[in-house]
Amino acid sequence: MSQDHGHHIIPVKMLYAVIGVLVFLTVLTVALAQVELGVFEVPVALAIALTKAGFVVMIFMALKWDNRVNASILAVGALCVLIFISFILIDTEFRGDLSNTTEGTIMDQQRVEQAMEGREPERSDISFNRQ
């Protein structure tokens, strides 16, 4: 095993390349923030940040050449974060949609609602009642 003969030394050239990429991605994310991206604003910013974090973890923290057990420890942490954020989004984005516990499907109910609306008389037809 190569590890018995000392640790992996990352070439200086590679370190320079990585800092170059990181600076470039920082400039890119600032530039893209000036452009109107609509719904893609958050996903694009997160994708760039994740790419940068990936370079730092893999090269600067040398996880690429490290003992696999450290990678699995990080993966467990990342999985927890993913669960926290995605379950929170299920709540904040779809609250109400999921708490429907009446009988029948949502589509059934919408069909009934539309039928009822169709039967609703015109306001002018029932106005005599108010007098």
Residues that bind another protein (CB under 8 A): 3-4, 6-7, 9-10, 12, 15, 18-19, 22-23, 26, 29-30, 33, 41-42, 45-46, 48-49, 52-53, 56-57, 59-61, 66-67, 69-70, 73-74, 76-78, 80-81, 84-85, 88-89, 92-93
8 A C-beta contact, residue 130 and residue 123: no
CA–CA gap between residue 63 and residue 75 (Å, rounded): 12
Indicate if the alpha-carbon torsion angle 107, 109, 112, 114 is positive or negative: negative
Please state the closest distance from residue 55 (CB atom) to another protein, in A: 10
Closest distance of CB 62 from another protein, Å: 8
Query: What is the distance between the alpha carbons of residues 32 and 17, in angstroms, rounded to a whole number?
Result: 22
Which CB sits closer to another protein, 9 or 115?
A: 9
Token pair in block for residue 17: 């390349």
Q: Which is nearer to another protein, 77 or 104 (CB)?
A: 77
